[in-house]
Amino acid sequence: GTYQGFHTYRVSVGLRWGIILFITFEVFFFLAFFWAYFHSSLAPTFELGSCWPPVGVEFLNPFSVPLLNTAVLLASGVSVTWAHHALIEKDRSGGIFGLVVTVILGVYFTFLQAGEYYDASFSLGDGVFGSVFFVATGFHGLHVLISSSFLLVCLFR
């Protein structure tokens, strides 16, 4: 049943609930980081200097690497969907090609994000702004890295 997809009704329901709970957890996990950012920016406290963004923080240009990273993630979504549909249609070479493209884009995203961290004018220890930025984008980058690793395992299976 595991390899052919023929599960009992009870197992299918359990798998469905498992993925629903996992996605719900992920949504709330990242929502907490966005909440911390919005709370700190909309109501800056005295400890933050009562201003947002904190004095001395230089923002990254959103139209350079962050925009490229967004395009890379969208392209990887297209390529993994392409691979999925190719595998459904029993097109093995199309599925392999789609997975290879997706893994390459995931690794490219990771390198771009590492360069973005290196070029940032602030660090993890620079108050709430730096903490929220690096933790939120770091966990997102970790998700991309883990997903790329899982897809690489699927590719070699």
User: Is residue 28 domain-shared with residue 97, that is, in the same domain?
Assistant: no
Residue range 49-107, pLDDT digits in tens: 788 878 778 888 899 999 999 999 999 999 999 999 999 999 999 999 999 999 999 99
Please indicate, yes or no, if residue 52 is contained in any of the structural domains: no
Question: How many distinct structural domains can be found in the chain?
Answer: 2
pLDDT in tens, 108-153: 999 999 999 999 888 888 888 889 999 999 999 999 999 999 999 9
Q: Verify that 18 and 66 share a domain, yes or no.
A: no
Q: Which domain does 38 fall in, by range?
A: 1-43
Amino acid type, 24: T
Question: Within this chain, do residues 81 and 143 fall inside the same structural domain, yes or no?
Answer: yes
**Same domain, yes or no: 39 and 64:** no
Q: How confident is the model at residue 1 (pLDDT cuts 50, 70, 90)?
A: low
99 and 33 belong to one structural domain:
no
Residues 67 and 39 in one domain: no
- Is position 49 within any domain? no
